[in-house]
Structure 1
Amino acid sequence: MMNGWGMGGWMWIWPVLILIGLAVLATTAVLWTRGRGPSGDDRGTARRILDERFARGEIDEEEYRRRRDDLR
């Protein structure tokens, strides 16, 4: 008869491993849906918005160049 210290004593490890695996999966999913984590893409987004505003005529060339230089 087992007294709880044999193979049955290690049964607590499986729920812990499952919880750790779920936490890793959740973190990976969040980072993946956010654009694969912080990658410095904010400057690219800002530049794209600036380009679109210039193309629509919302800002003139002088302001476009000034703001573009500020983004660098």
Structure 2
Amino acid sequence: MMFWYGHGVNGWGWFVMSLSTVLFWALIITVGVLLFRALPRPTPAGGDGGSWQKASPDGGPERILAERYARGEIDDEEYHRRLTTLLGSPIHVAEPPVP
């Protein structure tokens, strides 16, 4: 015996069909975005991949530090302390004598 439920899809059928369509396209778009992000992209010649922070060819942080010193924003002690930190050499601080 066959059951006859009418000539169309009821309200729940439309809801499930719409939800599954939205989920299907969300899955397709997510896979596409993940594939796009995972694939290697060509880098410009001599570049670092186009990062937002480019290394300046004329000194970089040392130049900025020298400019701040020249403008009088920092004093001698702070200039030398920051310069040694930038260059990677440790700061030699005289230790107090032990009594």
Fold shared by both chains (TM-score > 0.5): no
Structure of higher RCO (CA pairs closer than 8 Å, 6+ residues apart): 1
TM-score (norm 1): 0.44
- Higher helix content, 1 or 2: 1
